[in-house]
Amino acid sequence: MQPQVEFVFDVGSPYSYLAERALPGIVQAAGAQIVWRPVLLGAVIKTTGNHSPFEVPAKMRWVEQDIERCARALAVPFNRNPHFPVNTMVAMRIATGLLARRPDDFPAWVEAAFRAMWVEGRNLADPAELAAVIRNAGFDDRQLLALASEPAVKDLLRSATEEAIARGVFGAPTFFVGDQMFWGHDRLDQVARVLAPADSGRQS
């Protein structure tokens, strides 16, 4: 059976962006598969009593430097988003709706949304900005915004967020390999070790 990594994320999380860039190489090397788990990070933080770094100025200053260092280490583009923190609820509803209804289109949207947030510095909470990002990604903005407004899609994202919280998620990115939970993109080395085939260290 192909091993799986569940990736709990929100495009409003810069560390989720770094994980989205790094994770494909890890799963490819391990012959594994990503199971995408979009959630609303704001709801996770509020429900679990966690706090955003934005609420602690000293921590926020450190986080900004840390993210830039991590992006350089991964050789991926990164720019601070001047609108951060951004309400990504509609963007995440689009991700949820595509994952459920049009899974082939899901990767392109997630990549476009992450890029808009953490490379282009777009405000995905602004309806006009969001519509432009959707069009630039090659989608019909009216179709995707209609998808995001469907009660069934809203319920899917809500239930996915509640399920993640029930499993112990308190922030993003979070990864599950079986029953093991890993929090933070800087734990991807541990995810890789868990995914490594049992005989990978043996010599022939």
At 57-101, the pLDDT tens digits run 888 888 889 999 999 999 999 999 999 999 999 999 999 999 999
Predicted confidence (pLDDT) at residue 203 exceeds the cutoff of 60: no
- 204 occurs within a structural domain: no
Between strands 4-9 and 33-38, the pairing is parallel
* CB half-sphere exposure, 8, CA atoms < 13 A: 27
At 110-156, the pLDDT tens digits run 999 999 999 999 999 999 999 999 999 999 999 999 999 999 999 99
- 200 occurs within a structural domain: no
Mean pLDDT of the 27-47 span: 95
- 50 occurs within a structural domain: yes
- 202 occurs within a structural domain: no
Tokens at residue 178, please? Answer: 């079986």
Predicted confidence (pLDDT) at residue 53 exceeds the cutoff of 50: yes
Nearest to 188 by CA among 24, 44, 52, 71: 24
Catalytic residue among 13, 52, 159, 200: 13
**How many structural domains comprise the chain?**
1
Is 13 among the residues known to form the active site? yes
d(CA 40, CA 153): 13
- 201 occurs within a structural domain: no
Predicted confidence (pLDDT) at residue 200 exceeds the cutoff of 90: no
Residue 99 lies in domain: 4-195
pLDDT band at 197 (very low <50, low <70, confident <90, very high): low
Nearest to 185 by CA among 101, 118, 137, 126: 118
